[in-house]
């Protein structure tokens, strides 16, 4: 069975620092196209958002789902 996980990591400055192969398959964007860019450039405008949750005791890491733009322009959850 193929792994269908998709993940994007973003640093404190809002820059994409990691992009999984699952994210590439889901969105059509290769890691080389998005790593180093502002994460906000990928967000789908007007898409509903869900609150992110803290994932570490220090409260510095967040986890959740965001809606990004597929390479063809349609919104997808990541």
Q: How far apart are CA 27 and CA 59, in angstroms?
A: 29
Q: What is the pLDDT of residue 62?
A: 67
Q: What are the φ and ψ backbone dihedral angles of 56, each rounded to 5 degrees?
A: -135, 155
| pLDDT band at residue 1 under the 50/70/90 scheme | very low
Chain-centroid distance, C-alpha 77 = 8
| pLDDT band at residue 4 under the 50/70/90 scheme | low
pLDDT in tens, 34-75: 999 998 888 887 665 666 666 777 766 667 778 888 999 998
Q: Is 68 strand, coil or helix?
A: strand
Residues whose CB falls within 8 Å of the CB of residue 69, separated by 6 or more in sequence, listed in order: 27, 42, 43, 44, 75, 76
């Amino acid at each position: 069975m193929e792994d269908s996980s998709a993940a994007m990591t973003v640093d404190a400055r809002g820059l994409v620092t990691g992009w999984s192969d699952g994210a590439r398959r889901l969105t059509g964007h290769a890691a080389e196209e998005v790593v180093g860019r502002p994460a906000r450039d990928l967000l789908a405008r007007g898409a509903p958002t869900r609150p992110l949750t803290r994932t570490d005791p220090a409260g510095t890491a967040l986890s959740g789902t965001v809606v990004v733009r597929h390479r063809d322009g349609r919104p997808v959850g990541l």
